[in-house]
Amino acid sequence: MDLTNCFIFFLLLISLYFALTRKTPPKKHPPGSMGFPLIGQTLSFLHAMRTNSIEQWLLQRTSKYGPVSKLSLFGTPTVFVHGQSANKFIFTCDGNVLGNHQPPSFKRICGERNMTALIGDDHKRVRGALVSFLKPEMLKQYVGKMDEEVRNHVEMHWHGNQKVMVMPLMKTLTFNIMSSLIFGIEKGETRNNLIELLQHMMNGLMSLPINLPSTRFNRGLKASAQLRTFIKNLISERKAALEQRVADTRKDLIACLLGIGKTEPSIRMSDEEIVDNVIGVMIAGYDTSSVLITFLVRLLGMDRSVYDKIVQEQEEIAKTKTSELLTWDHLAKMKYTWRVAMETLRMNPPKSSKTWNMKDTLSPKDGK
């Protein structure tokens, strides 16, 4: 019996050995390292972002691993691509190959129903509702309000100062305009509280997704919960005001989305979707708009000819104004200013994160 047991045990060992050592066709994975679990290359990436050396960081990866490499960012397997071929692939492929993706940490702060996390019909429906807020007939009525915000900002932070820090001030200006257009909230204590919450959320997004007390990610989650409560209360107030017909659907973004749900049922959004996408709009607009304006101011400071042409165009428009605040017609006349802004956006485009599969190199869940 003992010999039989030993023989069976020996056979099991032999089977296990061949199972573990059997060669399988290697998967086509790009070069690179995934680093330590969860951490990956996140710390070095964040350091490069905060020290304004991200371009050197990316070039180092390209020189070390080539135009396609794997890494791990924010706890998510990621693929870094570089060069004309990669750009052409990303911007010309269809939705079956390249789709929206955000790291789990992003979804925990910004919500599962955020437009950037949706695909297919849900993405089209939510996008259609948000785009309706940006139609010319909607934007026309906000030009004067935005102009007033800009005037107050310049008077408070720019006039009389020999030196200013453009980027922080552009973030302040962008947030003030967003507060007015999204929430209908004018300057005061509520705005100050909201910008503090938004900053905690932004810091949480750009951190390791470790939910421990006093970490940036933990503070970002807490700020997100507080902001969600605030938006939900605002939605309840807008619903009551709209039902009593004491508010206009054009008052702000929330009122607009609630109104669209009644007039266009095909793009109706749930309260949860409104909350998640209001947060998404705030985060997207807070960074991209302020960065664009900062680069535009930088261009004006470095290129005197561009500066002179924009000043000339603005002075000519000012001579034809019949009202103190700007109107939609005035904006339509800023053709050169618009071209400069578009060129600035082309030279400094916003970055995005996508899930994709390039030929047979990666499986869809392998690379983000």
Rounded Cα–Cα distance for residues 120 and 15 (Å) = 47
Residue 159 token pair: 């006039």
Residue with tokens 């010309």, as numbered in its chain: 92
pLDDT for 119: 76
What pLDDT sits at residue 29?
75
**Whose CA is closest to 164, among 301, 65, 61?**
301
Q: Which of 43, 42, 99, 33 is nearest to 69 (CA)?
A: 33
The 3-state DSSP class for residue 355 equals: strand
Q: What is each CA distance from 353 to 8, 57, 231, 264, in whole angstroms?
A: 53, 17, 26, 31
| Interaxial angle between packed helices 271-302 and 189-205, expressed in degrees from 0 to 180 and rounded to the nearest 10 | 90
pLDDT at 27: 59
Q: What is the pLDDT of residue 80?
A: 84
- Cα separation, 180 vs 188, whole angstroms: 11
| Rounded Cα gap, residues 49 and 254, in angstroms | 33
Predicted confidence at residue 305, as pLDDT, reads 93
- The whole-model pTM stands at 0.75
* Sole residue written with tokens 């994975």: 29
Q: What is the pLDDT of residue 100?
A: 64
Domain boundaries, the chain: 30-98, 116-301
The CATH architecture to which 116-301 belongs is Orthogonal Bundle (1.10)
pLDDT of residue 223: 94
Q: What is the pLDDT along the chain (368 residues), one digit of tens a residue?
A: 454 555 455 545 555 544 445 555 455 678 888 888 778 888 888 888 888 788 888 888 888 888 888 888 888 888 888 888 877 877 777 666 666 677 778 888 888 888 777 777 887 888 888 888 878 887 888 888 888 889 989 898 888 888 889 888 998 888 888 888 888 887 778 888 888 999 999 888 888 888 888 889 999 999 999 999 999 998 998 888 888 877 777 778 888 888 877 777 778 888 898 898 889 888 888 878 888 889 999 998 899 999 999 999 999 998 888 878 888 889 889 999 999 988 888 887 765 444 444 444 444 344 45
Dihedral sign of CA atoms 42, 47, 52, 57 in order: negative
